[in-house]
């Protein structure tokens, strides 16, 4: 949880107004660290510590500095492993879990919507316990979300049902889904698997460490969202430094305290790649888990995007092509030489374009018919170092850069010591 707060991640227990406020984030971090220290002192008073799985074991080891005993929860299988599965159409996906925010039922509804959009004949059955009025209100909100997506009739709700009815549902359902991140164990996952349900669970916590062998006894999945961190538009000037026209960033995944340096290094990397790129050319650099895609047109307009490893290069270059096309339509090339800085560049659409291309399905729908990018060979570099000339060192370029603050240069030096150069994390 401390890590999520540090990176400004919005979740059920880290509200948006806190995640987007540096002061509130700092205050919450102070509170959590104080609580963790008190929690550690409390744990040291115990003579015997037992945990319910490997995830909790690692968690307690780190906090309490002890060797807990791992005791897996018992699961009744006598009544469920003999059930005969009923054949039927559509396929029913079963979700079992209390109606709590961390169970992430909204994601399950979104998955159902995507499946129906792909013409799969499926339904979702949500089984859950409501503890209080707050849980019942959450159910109403989830139903409203499903109605807004137009799939309300494809979901059945089974709230506070007896165990016999749950066993019957395990008989009828072919697939199970469990979307909680870092579930401590996952007793519902085990019970459904014991009934022969094919389980799909989040790739974390107990399901990952103790229950599911991916592709053998079930499936582990992540959210599958590509990440687009930045788009930068430059004018490449032969024999000189490139000119930045406009840039836009989405740095929510980074710590508040690193975002300034991360932004400066993305700008630094973009300038370096455009300066070293040929005209015209397309090139990609893989730097640890990140990709930097660079596209330089024949007229020396250039665009850079920085993504995670899930964002397809095909989509990235199509996006860069469309961004530059839109930029050219908005600001005629005859005006480019009169723009001396990004502040003078009146192009307000980049923010919306960055948000639009965050959605991988929307991006793919725009590129599915035909890849409109010209068939220029894409040069793939393994690291940033590989684009430098012989004898050049990245350290020296960082030191000499006028676009990096002293704080960012110090950040770079510390990252180098931890072998995390240019990983921006």
Q: What b/e readout covers 119-149, taking b as 16+ CB neighbours within 10 angstroms?
A: eeebbbbbbbebeeeebeebbeebeebbeeb
Instruction: Give the tokens for residue 129.
Output: 């316990």
- As a whole number of angstroms, the distance between CA 171 and CA 404 comes to 61
Which residues, 6+ apart, have CB-to-CB distance to 207 below 8 Å? Answer: 178, 183, 186, 189, 199, 201, 218, 220
Give pTM, 2 decimals.
0.57
Which residue numbers in the chain have pLDDT < 70? 1-20, 77-88, 223-225, 360-425
Which residues, 6+ apart, have CB-to-CB distance to 178 below 8 Å? Answer: 95, 96, 97, 186, 188, 189, 199, 200, 201, 202, 207
Q: Which long-range contacts (CB under 8 A, 24 or more apart) does 346-355 make?
A: 347/233, 347/245, 347/246, 350/231, 350/233, 350/246, 350/247, 350/248, 350/323, 351/248, 353/231, 353/248, 353/319, 353/323, 353/326, 354/228, 354/230, 354/231, 354/248, 354/249, 354/250, 355/250
Domains along the sequence of the chain with CATH: 2-70 (no CATH), 91-221 (3.40.50.2000), 228-417 (3.30.450.50)
Inter-residue contact 152 to 141 (CB < 8 Å): no
- As a whole number of angstroms, the distance between CA 12 and CA 17 comes to 12
Which residues, 6+ apart, have CB-to-CB distance to 221 below 8 Å? Answer: 200, 201, 202, 203
Residue 371: predicted pLDDT: 42
Q: How do residues 89-117 score in pLDDT, each as one tens digit?
A: 789 999 999 999 999 999 999 999 989 98
Residue 368: predicted pLDDT: 46
Q: Which long-range contacts (CB under 8 A, 24 or more apart) does 404-407 make?
A: 404/264, 404/265, 404/268, 405/260, 405/261, 405/264, 407/260, 407/261
């Amino acid at each position: 949880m401390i890590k999520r707060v540090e990176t400004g991640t919005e979740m059920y227990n880290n509200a948006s107004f806190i995640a987007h406020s540096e002061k509130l984030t700092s205050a919450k971090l102070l509170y959590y660290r104080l609580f963790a220290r008190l929690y550690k002192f409390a744990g040291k008073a115990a003579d015997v510590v037992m945990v319910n799985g490997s995830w909790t074991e690692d968690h307690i080891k780190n906090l309490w500095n002890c060797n807990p005993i791992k005791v897996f929860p018992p699961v009744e299988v006598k009544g469920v492993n003999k059930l005969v599965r009923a054949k039927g159409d559509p396929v029913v996906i079963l979700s079992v879990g209390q109606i709590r925010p961390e169970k992430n039922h909204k994601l399950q509804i979104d998955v159902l919507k995507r499946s129906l959009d792909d013409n799969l004949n499926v339904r979702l059955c949500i089984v859950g316990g409501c503890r209080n009025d707050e849980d019942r209100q959450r159910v109403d909100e989830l139903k409203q979300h499903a109605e807004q997506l137009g799939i309300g009739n494809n979901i059945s709700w089974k709230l506070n049902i007896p165990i016999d009815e749950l066993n019957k549902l395990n008989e009828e359902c072919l697939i199970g889904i469990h979307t909680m991140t870092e579930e401590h164990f996952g007793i519902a996952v085990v019970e459904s698997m014991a009934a022969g349900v094919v389980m799909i669970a989040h790739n974390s916590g107990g399901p990952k460490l103790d229950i599911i062998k991916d592709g053998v006894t079930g499936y582990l999945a992540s959210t599958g969202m590509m990440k687009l961190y930045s788009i930068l538009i430059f004018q490449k000037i032969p024999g000189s430094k490139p000119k930045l026209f406009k840039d836009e960033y989405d740095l929510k995944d980074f710590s508040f305290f690193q975002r300034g340096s991360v932004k400066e290094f993305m700008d630094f990397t973009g300038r370096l790649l455009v300066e070293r790129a040929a005209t015209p050319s397309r090139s990609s650099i893989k730097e640890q888990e990140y990709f930097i895609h660079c596209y330089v047109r024949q007229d020396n307009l250039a665009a850079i995007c920085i993504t995670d490893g899930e964002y397809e290069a095909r989509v990235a270059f199509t996006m860069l092509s469309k961004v530059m096309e839109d930029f050219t339509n908005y600001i005629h090339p005859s005006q480019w030489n009169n723009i001396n800085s990004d502040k003078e560049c009146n192009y307000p659409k980049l923010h919306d374009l960055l948000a639009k291309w965050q959605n991988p399905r929307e991006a793919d729908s725009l590129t599915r018919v035909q890849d409109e990018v010209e068939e220029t060979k894409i040069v793939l570099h393994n690291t940033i170092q590989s684009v430098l000339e012989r004898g050049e060192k990245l350290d020296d370029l960082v030191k000499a850069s006028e676009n990096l603050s002293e704080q960012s240069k110090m950040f770079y030096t510390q990252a180098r010591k931890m072998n995390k150069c240019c990983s921006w994390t």
